[in-house]
Amino acid sequence: MSRGEPSHAGQERASDAEYGLREACGVFGCVATDSWPTDLDVAHIVHLGLIGLQHRGQESAGIVTSTGDNRQRFSSKKYMGLVNSFTEEDLKKLRGNLGIGHTRYSTQGDSDLVNVQPFVVETLHGLIAVAHNGELVNAAKLKTKLLLHGVGLSTGSDSELVTQLLTHQPDCGEPNGANWIGRIQKMMSEAPLSYSLLILIVDRIYAIRDPFGNRPLVLGKVLPTTIPLSGGKSLKNGGDNDGWVVSSESCSLHAVGAVYYREVLPGEIVEISREGIKSKCIVPRPEAKLPAFCIFEYVYFARPDSIMEGQMVHSVRQRCGRRLALECPVDVDLVSCVPESACPAAMEYASTLGLPYREVLCKNRYVGRTFIQPSMRLRQLGVAKKFGPLTDNFRNKRIVLVDDSIVRGNTMAAIVRLLKNFGAKEVHIRVASPPLRYPCYMGINIPTREELIANNMSIAEIAEFIGAESVAYLSIEGLVEAVQEGIEKKEEHGHCTACLSGQYPVNPDW
């Protein structure tokens, strides 16, 4: 991700964040198996994989491919904008036997082509390409170290820091040639989190998660077209497959003809080549701490059909709604939600309390990013542009509106005002996650503490500010229990709740 001015200083991103939180980016890679040159259209597969991850970033997209036989030449194409900016002609020119891609949302810094990933740099052993999801908590220290070593930095991105660290030889000095595992281990020892990385090196891809497993990363198996896709199978390494893919989320696998294989483990370095996948090593966490997987992947960021920690995100959101109903019931006529990530929680909230569920807002899915508007009238019309009221469903009714989170409260205030202007008798707000009180330093665009409404107002004051009859949140304990209920080996899993509790896995250095 990009690092420059603090996240609240960018007016475009500040305005965009009023509609919710934003993930930093998504990564996707593909390696064809067996004989090369391959019949597998790697560039198209990476492109389709990125489309499946478009919700993780909409500012820019890039693809880098390799034929696997020339360490001095990669094919690359990058665009500002959505993944569908790529043309058929672009993808033809990107033909190769393996490739990686990246789709980006910058939480900090400038939105420029120079910051578009994957980054490609030349090393002593040839070119490498790097795609990064996350944010380095010790970026300032690493930047100073690189500058003191005479390394020039050009993008203002901590993803560039990762790339430059990989150009450094490991302590062994590489007497027997390239030691990429040693280089990666050295980088991981200097950067504890947060990252999921794809590194393209001539004829293979390395897939890496930081030792805390803060950001998601999964492996998939590309099946021949003669084999039907189905979930839940235990797949062996090798066998009947045309290739391997790696993705920020499993939701993108089905669209490329792949099936879920497994997660990349926290701290794991996985090598993906034409021969298959190999787990090279696992870098341990400091002080034997538990993993710190971002709990907001379940709440908001991930697509509901993704599988994380062995469970479907949609099911976790349903359990959040059930627990929210038990913790925060209310006497109303109907239940609804702010589309779309809160809908599973809202429906389960209604079912648990025996209340009818009705849609009260129609979302315009073709509204792009919103920017600071030049007049008060245009700012007030921002929500009206994104949501339309389904008045027949709620006129003269008492509504409980379920949302996944409240950041600044401006959007929720506008929604409550919209519903009441069109006839709602009462509007109660229930939030299927705890109050956001602290900023995130690990790749999520959460504003400063001063901008977070829950950090400055009591629950009663929040209700008054947004114009609702009442407001209530799911507890931290309730959220953690909803997440861990579907995990088999709970003692091996841990979750980062820093934005809710202020307890960070490691202390950031800025």
For 467-493, what is the mean pLDDT? 95
Do residues 247 and 347 both lie within one domain?
A: no
Q: Which of 144-148, 253-257, 445-449 has the lowest mean pLDDT?
A: 445-449
pLDDT score of 195:
94
Q: Which of 128-142, 190-204, 348-362 has the lowest mean pLDDT?
A: 128-142
404 located within any domain: yes
How far is the C-alpha of 327 from the C-alpha of 302, rounded, in Å? Answer: 25
Q: What are 176's two structure tokens?
A: 């027997």
For 264-278, what is the mean pLDDT? 97
239 has a pLDDT exceeding 80: no
Do residues 238 and 330 both lie within one domain?
A: no
25 is catalytic: yes
Do residues 390 and 342 both lie within one domain?
A: yes
CATH number at residue 469: 3.40.50.2020
- When divided into structural domains, the chain yields a total of 2
Q: Which of 25, 251, 328, 337 is catalytic?
A: 25
Give the position of tokens 């990564």: 27
Beta-strand pair 311-312/307-308: antiparallel
361 located within any domain: yes
CATH number at residue 171: 3.60.20.10
Are 319 and 344 in contact by the 8 Å Cβ rule? The answer is no
373 has a pLDDT exceeding 50: no
Residue 339, domain extent: 315-366+374-481
Do residues 266 and 321 both lie within one domain?
A: no
Average pLDDT over the chain reads 87
Residues in contact with 132: Cβ distance below 8 Å, sequence separation at least 6, in sequence order: 1, 25, 27, 102, 117, 158, 159, 162, 195, 196, 197
381 located within any domain: yes
Q: Which residue has the higher pLDDT, 375 or 402?
A: 402
111 has a pLDDT exceeding 70: no
How far is the C-alpha of 267 from the C-alpha of 281, rounded, in Å? Answer: 8
Residues in contact with 492: Cβ distance below 8 Å, sequence separation at least 6, in sequence order: 290, 291
Do residues 120 and 205 both lie within one domain?
A: yes
Q: Which residue has the higher pLDDT, 23 or 418?
A: 418
For 66-83, what is the mean pLDDT? 92
Residue 249 DSSP class: S
How far is the C-alpha of 289 from the C-alpha of 495, rounded, in Å? Answer: 11
For 504-510, what is the mean pLDDT? 78
Do residues 169 and 133 both lie within one domain?
A: yes
Give the position of tokens 């069109």: 422
What is the identity of the amino acid at 378?
A: L
Give the position of tokens 């507890």: 475
For 431-438, what is the mean pLDDT? 95
pLDDT score of 298:
96
Percent of the chain at pLDDT exceeding 70: 87
* Helices assigned H by DSSP within 302-401: 313-327, 343-353, 376-380, 382-386
How far is the C-alpha of 287 from the C-alpha of 468, rounded, in Å? Answer: 46
Q: Which of 29-38, 117-126, 144-153 has the lowest mean pLDDT?
A: 144-153
258 located within any domain: yes
- Residue ranges of the annotated binding site for Mg(2+) are 341, 403-404
Q: Which residue has the higher pLDDT, 389 or 489?
A: 389
173 located within any domain: yes
Percent of the chain at pLDDT exceeding 90: 65
**What region does 491 belong to: left with phi over 0, alpha with psi -120 to 50, or beta?**
alpha
Do residues 331 and 457 both lie within one domain?
A: yes
433 located within any domain: yes
Q: Model confidence over 317-356: pLDDT tens digits? A: 999 999 999 999 999 999 999 988 899 999 999 999 999 9
pLDDT score of 368:
55
Q: Cis ω on the peptide bond leading into residue 118 (within 30° of 0)? A: yes
190 located within any domain: yes
Is residue 92 classed exposed, middle or buried when 0-12, 13-18 and 19+ CB atoms within 10 A define those classes? exposed
Could you please report the per-residue DSSP string of 94-142? T--SEEEEEEE--SSS---GGGPSSEEEEETTEEEEEEEEE--TTHHHH
Predicted TM-score (pTM) of this structure? 0.89
92 located within any domain: yes
Do residues 274 and 320 both lie within one domain?
A: no
Do residues 172 and 254 both lie within one domain?
A: yes
pLDDT score of 507:
80
Closest C-alpha to 96, from 77, 114, 113, 82: 77
- Residue ranges of the annotated binding site are 294, 341, 403-404, 440, 496, 499
Q: Which residue has the higher pLDDT, 293 or 19?
A: 293
Q: What are 17's two structure tokens?
A: 């964040």
Do residues 247 and 361 both lie within one domain?
A: no
7 has a pLDDT exceeding 60: no
pLDDT score of 241:
79
For 364-372, what is the mean pLDDT? 60
Q: Model confidence over 278-311: pLDDT tens digits? A: 999 999 998 778 999 999 999 989 999 999 999 9
Do residues 87 and 219 both lie within one domain?
A: yes
pLDDT score of 369:
47
Do residues 101 and 229 both lie within one domain?
A: yes
pLDDT score of 8:
30
